């Protein structure tokens, strides 16, 4: 796996709705820009060898990095695969929709739920939103949120941006009733 660069972004929200957020709300994203292992091969019927060769390694690289960047206990998390224009969306999906990738983050975050995801194809600098959900109960509404990400020079046509996002809390100033109140 060739990693061209790693980008880390930490957002700290101090005010929301005209009121202070205390403690401040933190969200971290770590993105790796990698060569797309399937580009230039035409239509690849069996993606399994590439998954086996790369998915676990990229998960092992990103999971501890995003937890460290957050600097707090992870309460919400998500993932992304943004494929350059010479690739297929399925190439990104192949890398992130496997336990070989996701279990690294689940274990690092002490999580049990599936990781919400975004996949898309786009040019360098494309903006994407990573959805986040609670790490143990995807029905906890306070933790349904997104973080906007952009890597200025990625993905190149033959690359994939693989990213993980972690939040130390739910949305700042959240005040929706729990899902159970509507059932």
Q: What is the mean pLDDT of the chain?
A: 95
Cα separation, 90 vs 71, whole angstroms: 32
Q: Other C-beta atoms within 10 Å of 9: how many? A: 17
Q: Could you report the per-residue pLDDT of 25-77, keeping only the tens digit for each?
A: 999 999 999 999 999 999 999 999 999 999 999 999 999 999 999 999 999 99
Q: Which two tokens mark 172?
A: 């700042």
pLDDT at 170 over 80: yes
Q: Which residues touch 39 (CB under 8 Å, ≥6 apart)? A: 84, 86, 87, 91, 157, 158
CATH number of the domain within which 74 lies:
3.30.1330.110
The percentage of the chain sitting over the pLDDT mark of 70, rounded to a whole number, equals 97
Q: Which two tokens mark 29?
A: 């994203």
Give pTM, 2 decimals. 0.94
HSE-up (13 A, CA, CB side) for residue 2? 7
Helix H or strand E segment including 82: strand 76-83
Asked whether 26 and 11 are in contact (CB, 8 A), the reply is yes
Total number of domains in the chain: 1
Q: Which two tokens mark 145?
A: 């949120």
Q: Could you report the per-residue pLDDT of 91-114, keeping only the tens digit for each?
A: 999 999 999 999 999 999 999 999
Q: With bands split at pLDDT 50, 70 and 90, how would you rate the model's confidence at 176?
A: confident
Q: With bands split at pLDDT 50, 70 and 90, how would you rate the model's confidence at 182?
A: low
Phi, psi of 20 (to 5 degrees): -65, 145
129 is in which domain, residue-wise? Answer: 3-182
Between 176 and 141, where is the model more confident? 141
């Amino acid at each position: 796996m060739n990693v061209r660069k790693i980008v880390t972004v930490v957002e700290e929200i101090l005010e929301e709705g005209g009121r202070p957020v205390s403690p401040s709300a933190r969200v971290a994203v770590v993105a790796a820009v990698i060569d797309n292992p399937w580009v230039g091969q035409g239509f690849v019927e069996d993606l399994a060898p590439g998954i086996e060769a790369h998915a676990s390694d990229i998960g092992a690289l990103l999971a501890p990095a995003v937890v460290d960047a957050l600097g707090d206990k992870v309460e919400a998390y998500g993932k992304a695969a943004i494929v350059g224009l010479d690739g297929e969306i399925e190439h990104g999906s192949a890398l992130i929709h496997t336990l070989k990738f996701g279990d690294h983050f689940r274990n690092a975050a002490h999580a049990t739920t599936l990781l919400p995801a975004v996949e898309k194809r786009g040019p360098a600098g494309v903006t994407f939103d990573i959805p986040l959900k609670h790490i143990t109960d995807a029905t906890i509404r306070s933790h349904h949120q997104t973080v906007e990400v952009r890597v200025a020079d990625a993905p190149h046509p033959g690359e994939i941006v693989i990213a993980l996002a972690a939040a130390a809390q739910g949305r700042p100033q959240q005040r929706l009733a729990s899902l159970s109140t509507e059932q």
